[in-house]
Amino acid sequence: MKNLILAVILARSGSKGVKNKNIKNLSGKPLIAWSIATCLKSKKINKIIVSTDSKKYAKIAKSFGAHETILRPKKISKDLSTDYDAIIHLIKNFKKFNYEIIVHIRPTTPDRDVKDVDRAIRIFEKSNFSSLRSVHEMSETAYKSLELNSKNLLKPLKNIKKNLNQLNRPRQYFKKTYTPNGVIDIYRKNFILKNKKLFGKKVFGFKTKFTHEIDTLDQFEFINFNLGRKYERTNKR
């Protein structure tokens, strides 16, 4: 039997960096609407659910095409609440949850390519990975990162056994490192229920192009400008 695939968009209302970030207008529509639109274009996703702590957010999500919404408690919608909290709440409380593959689409990465989404799902379907996480190459390898101690003196990260002179070598000397970018994460329901976590030991790193995420107002305005230019060029063709 073919696995049904669920897209989950987590959109809480209590953003501190950008007030009401997930419904703030981004190049003509609420931020969350960009992720819903991508999921609607997908050839692999069967249903889209938005998990939120806000009835207002839920109404907006439905108006832009989300198939279902689920309200989660405020106690798991705080600054320090985890993705696991929201996902396990969804699994245990959504009626007739018959989806083995859960695709996590973060609203704070609005400019994703649906081809990447479908390609990641196809890879995951054919695999035995516990989960998948999208990443892009860091512009500066993490092996060259530094800490400041209490006296403002620079030192390498604790798990990097090199001195400052070694860290000053050209980047080609170091291994490439990657950072999660929010384009797509994929989980398995049965793994989550059994292990009480989202990621196991076999997490596939799905590489994408460099992708901007939104955490601050400056980042929001930067992406708003770039998206406006991108779709202006598209409409002129």
- Please state the domain extents for the chain: 5-137+177-236, 139-176
CA angle 204, 191, 199 (to 5 degrees): 40
3-class SS of residue 218: helix
- Using alpha carbons, select from 95, 60, 89, 91 the residue that is nearest to residue 75: 89
The 3-class SS string of 21-64 reads HHHCEECCEEHHHHHHHHHHHCCCCCEEEEEECCHHHHHHHHHC
3-class SS of residue 72: coil
> For position 90, what pLDDT does the model report?
95
> For position 231, what pLDDT does the model report?
63
* Verdict on whether the full-model pTM lies above 0.85: yes
> For position 14, what pLDDT does the model report?
78
CATH 3.90.550.10 holds for 5-137+177-236: yes
Distance, CA of 172 to CA of 141 (rounded, Å): 10
In the numeric block, which tokens belong to residue 11?
Answer: 């959109």
> For position 160, what pLDDT does the model report?
75
The tens digit of pLDDT for each residue in 29-81 reads: 999 999 999 999 999 999 999 999 999 999 999 999 999 999 999 999 988 89
3-class SS of residue 135: strand
Residues of the chain whose pLDDT is less than 70? 1-2, 231-237
3-class SS of residue 76: helix
Measured from the Cβ of residue 178, the count of other Cβ atoms closer than 10 Å reads: 16
Distance, CA of 42 to CA of 133 (rounded, Å): 18
Distance, CA of 177 to CA of 140 (rounded, Å): 8
